Amino acid sequence: MDRRRGNTRFALIAVLLAAYALVYFHRTMTGVVREQVALFAEYYGVDENLLTSVFFLAYFYAYAL
């Protein structure tokens, strides 16, 4: 029974760490592609900060679901 419990804990920790890495990547991605966001904002005539916020909210709502 203890071996199965240990495997379950390891799997749970692995899934949580993978989810954290994915979320961390997506949260920092908007800062890395700031120049591209600025180009999109200029092309579509939208405020750059607004577009960055929309990207962040899209990630947040996707993870919340």
Tens of pLDDT, residue by residue over 2-11, are 667 778 889 9
Tell whether 55 is covered by a domain: yes
Instruction: Kindly tell me if the per-residue pLDDT of 31 is higher than 90.
Output: no
> Is residue 32 pLDDT above 90, yes or no?
no
pLDDT score for 23: 77
Q: How far apart are CA 37 and CA 55, in angstroms?
A: 9
Within-domain flag for 27: yes
How many domains are there within the chain? Answer: 1
> In 3-state terms, what secondary structure has residue 61?
helix
Q: Answer yes or no: is pLDDT of 65 > 80.
A: no
For residue 5, give Cα distances in angstroms to 12, 16, 20: 11, 17, 22
Task: Determine the pLDDT at residue 35.
Answer: 84
Query: What is the pLDDT at residue 2?
Result: 60
Residues 6+ apart with CB under 8 A from 63: 23
CB atoms within 10 A of CB 29: 14
- Can you give the residue range of the structural domain that contains 57? 21-65
